[in-house]
Structure 1
Amino acid sequence: MMLKHNRFTPNRILPAIGAATLLATLVGAPAHAAGTGHGPGGGGATFGQPKHAHTKAAPMACREMTVDGGFESPKLGSHDWMQFDENDVPGWRTDDPDGKIEIWGGAMGVAPRFGKQFAELNATGSGNSIYQDIKTKPNTKIYWSFWIRARDTSEGKDVDATSIHFGRTPKNDTSVMGVGSAFAYANSADDVRWKRLYGWYKTGPGQTSTRVTLTADSSASTDDGFGNLVDGLTITESPDCM
């Protein structure tokens, strides 16, 4: 179970992007970039108590819905990085051509955002995804957060684009995205610092299993096995647990 390391600020207003029931934003963007309710989709959502509320509801018990969202297992030991078979990485699967998930420590010039390890999406191929299926309740909001960073591959500023996808997990389906994917949100990060992406997703009727996917949309590197660093994925049923 991953420790809760991100917390929404009470009364932070986040912009609606895409469908009315879906929301995503990023930390650190200027107000005009993050949105004020006048961008695509319009509207917005406020986390926290209503303005005139006099009582506070009991907090929901926090439960992490992902497995190994911080990529702390398997342990690297004395290695700076390793490519593990997907079957050896708890919870995660990949569409990497060789079925590998690449885990880094802090000795490759990038410090983990949390813990001692993180993952690189492009292990042996480009445009790769890693994904896992989580148990969800139908017609319920779940709140997500994760961090992205570009890999430094040149003397200039490198920028990688990464996306998160949510969708119902169909039976007998082995594709990364699955069928009927309902939501995708992409953003880019440079090679200087980690950037946090977060938002919420609402499941549909009968959606008891949801596939969450992290995809390397583009990398600054020309090497197929370079790019798109991710860390600290957490998904819960309450924004107060982030």
Structure 2
Amino acid sequence: MTAFNDLSLLRAFVCIVEGGSISAGARRLKLPQPTLSRYVRTLEEHCGVALLRRDTHRMSLTEAGEADQRLHDDQAALRGHLRLFATIDFGQSTVTRLISSFLQINQDVTAELRYTNRPARMIEEGCDAGIVAGGITDESVIARPAGKIMRYLTASPAFVKGRGPAKEPSDLKSWPWLSLSGAQFGGSEKVTLYAPKQPDQPIPIKCVLVSEGVTSMREAARAGLGIAILPDWLVREDIVSRRLV
């Protein structure tokens, strides 16, 4: 693999330039400073010129470095093959639609979509980017929030009627729960409930079903198996129709 095709080298170069120093780039990428220094040397050896101008306090681009960055910004802008991953249900319902619109506008780009709910190691698995509904478990990636997903505590009307009303969040500890597997979704041993103008309320839970996908959890909730925390994009129609409450 050439230096310019190695995503980790190029990303290190960009982070150093944006941060103004190797130490800033190392903090951003959570990598040792010697590793980033080695990445820069590899790129400079490949180019045959110095890409960074070093002084006492900061690092800046040389003329060759500026030209190299412009070249690769132009080349990577809107052409090539994009490898993406997304969480399963959100990816199939929402990300596919967004990527389809993007590809129709940018016809020099092709894409590959991978769906997984297990923690993904992006660089090792050859992915360029990911859209994840949940927490980030790969500390080597640079993450940006793309939006918020509202989640609701839901159950079937028959299930709630059979259990009776819960007066306090702690009353839900003994109820059967449906949960997503995976550390990025918070695990299956506790949940944290949120309400306007109220303190966060973590409670331990007892799961009767742990699933990799929210669609299967919705079906189990509809069937009256237990209660689940589900995203608004999935259960909005169920709540309106009273299939879930």
Q: Which of the five TM-score ranges fits, normalised by the shorter chain?
A: under 0.3
Larger helix fraction of residues: 2
Higher-strand-fraction structure:
1
TM-score (norm 1): 0.25
TM-score (norm 2): 0.25
In our comparison, the structure showing a higher alpha carbon Rg is 2
